[in-house]
Structure 1
Amino acid sequence: MCKREDLAALVASAAPLGPDQAAKRLGVRRVDFDHMVRLGWIRSPQSIEVRFGTSRAGAVDIALYTTASVDAVIPAHREVDWEQLRAVEKGRRSPLASLRPAPAPTPA
């Protein structure tokens, strides 16, 4: 396995990213990334439980996304003006907020 020339790329593409890290990788605000999740543009294949302190009551589940799936969002959605999206200032409404998820395909 270590002799694979593509090992670094393989490991990097499978590296898990939290939602904040994924938003940063895309160069967008976290709220914009949350809209991408709502729209079904990206899905979380796994989540982890993070505990705050020693109490179970302080535990939250954090969705994780693969680097490859995050990197695939932009090429898959060329209809988005990514430069404009990245330029939206903090506190302004996301252009993605008005979009609706694509309807689920009807069974044949």
Structure 2
Amino acid sequence: MIGDLTRAGVLLRLQGPMDAPLVHVDQVTALARRRDLPALLDRHVLYGPDQAAVRLGLRRTDLDHLLRRTLLTPARTVAVDFGKARGGEVAVDLYRGQDVAVLSALHPDIDWAALHRLPDPGGSIPWHGCGAHATNG
């Protein structure tokens, strides 16, 4: 996230690589106080699938269903190395915060309120506008 904000010019990189730059703590403190912080993050930050699910208030399994329906398109894919014991290098899609933020407005055919009420794990998924009714699994 800090790298995304540095690339966007929101934070000034003092040193280090662009993906993990060192920035002055006062910059971060000032940024945290901004009233427009959520909108600023949505414009400049890429979310992994777990972060996108949290941003939408969904379970990760529900986000996976949205992704299978191609309702959210990745902005970029990165390679993450989890080590040999955990499967090695894995491709992880990253999604624009702004795309995630407007998803419910773009798809009023989905019963978002019902999705937010689902227990974790299990239950049936209310995907009314996205084809056949699916169950979690």
Q: CA deviation at 1:95?
A: 2.2
Q: Normalised by the size of structure 1, how large is the TM-score?
A: 0.73
Give 1:54 deviation, angstroms.
Answer: 7.3
Residue in 2 that maps onto 1:35: 65
Note if contact 2:46-2:97 (Cα within 8 Å) is conserved in structure 1.
yes
- Counterpart CA distance in 1 for 2:59 and 2:113 is 12
Deviation at 1:10, TM superposition (A): 5.0
Identity of aligned residues (%): 33
1:24 partner SS: helix
| Contact 1:28–1:86 (CA under 8 A) maintained in structure 2 | yes
Question: Aligned-pair RMSD on alpha carbons?
Answer: 2.8
2:115 is aligned to 85
Deviation at 1:96, TM superposition (A): 2.8
Which has the greater radius of gyration? 2
Contact 2:62 2:125 in 1 (8 A): yes
Partner of 1:49: 79
2:122 aligned partner, one-letter code: G
Unaligned runs of 5+ residues in structure 1 are: 3-7, 102-108
SS at structure 2 position matched to 1:96? coil
Q: Tell me the TM-score normalized by structure 2.
A: 0.59
- Structure possessing the higher relative contact order (Cα contacts under 8 Å, 6 or more residues apart): 1
- How many residues align? The count is 96
